[in-house]
Amino acid sequence: MVKPRIILNSQTFQLTITRLSHQLIEVHNDFSDSVIIGLQPRGIFLARRIQKELCRILKKKNIPCGELDVTFYRDDFRKKELIPNKTNIDFIIEDKNVVLVDDVLFTGRTIRAGLDAMLAFGRPKDVELLVLIDRRLSRHLPIQAKYKGKTIDSIASEKVRVDWKETEGQDKVWITNEQD
Amino acid sequence: MTKLSTKHLLGIKDLSEQDIQLIFKTADNFKDVINRPIKKVPSLRDITIANLFFENSTRTKLSFELAEKRLSADVVNFSASSSSVKKGETLIDTVNNILAMKVDMVVMRHPNPGACMFLAKHVDARIVNAGDGAHEHPTQALLDAYSIREKLGTVKGKKVVIVGDILHSRVALSNIFCLKKLGAQVMVCGPTTLIPKYISSLGVKVEHDLRKALEWCDVANMLRIQLERQEIKYFPSLREYTMMYGLNKSLLDSLKKEITVMHPGPINRGVEITSDVADSKQSIILQQVENGVAVRMAVLFLLAGRAEN
């Protein structure tokens, strides 16, 4: 049994979020034509955190940030038990620049489903992908993130866990061998 | 809890309270989907569903078909009036022939009680009961309870009266099972001839005076008189039934509190319910129809999506 490894602690975690936010500003300026969409269930925490950070840096009151559930669009829902979550997109994505946000990019299947699910709400001008952790050796589909918090090499049997202050009490990313 | 405890939906009797809550929670998500600009999701694109209707239906058939199409399933329709059933083919033969064409699920309505249970035992497909004789109509009960939950916040502790032809109604029986499982208090109301003799053994109250029943309840579910199932006369005349058990505006307005009015359809306006009540703001008849699609999507999704391991 390999001991769990910490990849990001709470300090580097915050630095990464700040860096990703600055990278987004380089491309999207003041976000007047851009929106953020977090993928359920765990991507929404990152999306909210990025939104907060962007608001702080840009001194804006609000940047559109939605939550998207992809359960009904998955191709593997019959292989595992999945519970649908809430979708909440209360803005128009037609002709906007959309930043899709998820915590870990693994096989790419969630993002594939996310793209399909998002298109049910309109036709965006441009879609980019932002992830906190990119597990680069495990992709099943030709999907890459434009903004990455950290790229790691891990084997498929390992599990990458992202903990959030909001739910687990502490921000951190760690690799474990445990099967939950 | 992420999956149903049953492989088929034959009746509410087989479901647990958790099953019903899971269906409701999934239906919430589908209700959101059917109010989007694009109302369709690809979940069941690899599933073929046969709708076998051996008895007439408008709402249920349409609602099931719409639910199936919104889930991207392939649909084949069948109605008894235009089929080989007339030529003497048995139920199992008909269904096996349809299954030989690679159908994964069967939605069936049949005039004989237990037809769906019989089918589930003999053919290899997921069966959804869309009404079997005077036995059960599970999706109707689920959408009724779902509509109560939507309107009043919860079903638990609410008082629901079912008025009318309890004896011939599959909606009544499924509703009683469903509401009891969710913790509601249930009363049935109607002329003595249309109330089954041992109904109180299901844990429901019996009342023969409509005014008393309405004063007790939060929700009144008005049923249609099923003349097609009545071989003998159960009451002197339809006019007398309307006078005793019909819900009209002056009766509704004379109650101390505002109750919610439901009807599973089809409505016989002027018999069990007058037009001004059916169209009043206390009535949630059209919401029931809208919720029907979402609830049926949830049932089909949960049955088809049940992981096989």
User: Choosing from B135, B137, B158, B170, which is the catalytic residue?
Assistant: B137
Per-residue pLDDT, B15: 94
The full set of domains in chain B, from first to last, is 12-137+289-304 (3.40.50.1370), 138-285 (3.40.50.1370)
Percent of chain B with pLDDT over 90: 68
Q: Is the pLDDT of residue A30 over 90?
A: no
Return the residue in B29, B35, B69, B301 with the most chain A beta carbons within 10 A, the one to mutate for interface testing. Answer: B29
- Model pLDDT, residue A100: 94
State what percent of residues in chain B have pLDDT above 70: 97
DSSP assignments along B62-123, one per residue:
HHHHHHHHHTT-EEEEEEGGGSGGGGT--HHHHHHHHHHTT--EEEEEESSTTHHHHHHHHS
- pLDDT > 90: percent of chain A: 46
Average pLDDT over residues A17-24: 93
Statement: residue A24 has pLDDT above 90: yes
A135–chain B nearest CA distance, Å: 27
CATH number at residue A135: 3.40.50.2020
Across the interface, do A77 and B36 touch by the CB < 8 Å criterion?
no
Is A64 within 8 Å of A101 (Cβ atoms)? no
Tell me the average pLDDT across B98-121: 90
Q: How far apart are CA A31 and CA A63, in angstroms?
A: 7
Q: Is the pLDDT of residue A91 over 80?
A: yes
The verdict on whether B48 is a catalytic residue reads: no
Higher pLDDT, B18 or A168: B18
A82-108 mean pLDDT: 89
Q: Which of B3, B32, B38 sits opposite A87 (nearest CB)?
A: B32
Catalytic residue among B31, B61, B70, B109: B109
Indicate whether A28 belongs to any domain: no
The number of domains in chain A is 1
| Higher per-residue confidence, B61 vs B227 | B61
- The dihedrals phi and psi of A162, each to the nearest 5 degrees, come to -110, 120
Q: What is the ipTM of this complex?
A: 0.74
Can you name the residues that pair with A34 across neighbouring β-strands?
A97
Which of A77, A116, A122 is facing B305, going by the closest CB pair?
A77
A-interface mutation test, from B4, B41, B46, most A Cβ less than 10 A away: B41
Is the confidence at residue B149, as pLDDT, over 90?
yes
The whole-angstrom separation of Cα A83 and Cα B220 is 33
Domain assignment present for A154: yes
SS3 category, A163: strand
pLDDT number for residue A180: 54
For A133, phi and psi rounded to 5 degrees?
Answer: -125, 130
At residue B145, the pLDDT reads 96
Residue range B129-138: average pLDDT? Answer: 93
Domain extent, residue A52, equals 5-22+33-176
**Strand ranges inside A51-157, DSSP E:** 65-68, 97-105, 126-135, 147-152
Query: Does residue B87 have an active-site annotation?
Result: yes
Mean pLDDT confidence for B212-230: 90
Average pLDDT of span A13-38? 92
pLDDT reading at B88 higher than 50: yes
pLDDT higher than 70, residue B84: no
Choose between A106 and A75: higher pLDDT. Answer: A106
Residue range A99-111: average pLDDT?
Answer: 92
The verdict on a CB contact (< 8 Å) between B32 and A86 is yes
Give the pairing type, strands A172-176 and A5-8.
antiparallel
Q: Does A147 touch chain B (CB under 8 A)?
A: no
Tens digits of residue pLDDT in A153-164: 887 788 888 888
CA B9 to CA B16: how far, in whole Å?
A: 12
Chain B residues closer than 8 Å to A119 by CB: 38
**What's the pLDDT score for residue B216?**
95
Given a cut of 50, is residue B309 above it in pLDDT? Answer: no
pLDDT band with cut points at 50, 70 and 90 for residue B282: very high
Answer whether residue A120 shows pLDDT above 90.
no
CA angle B134, B120, B294 (to 5 degrees): 70
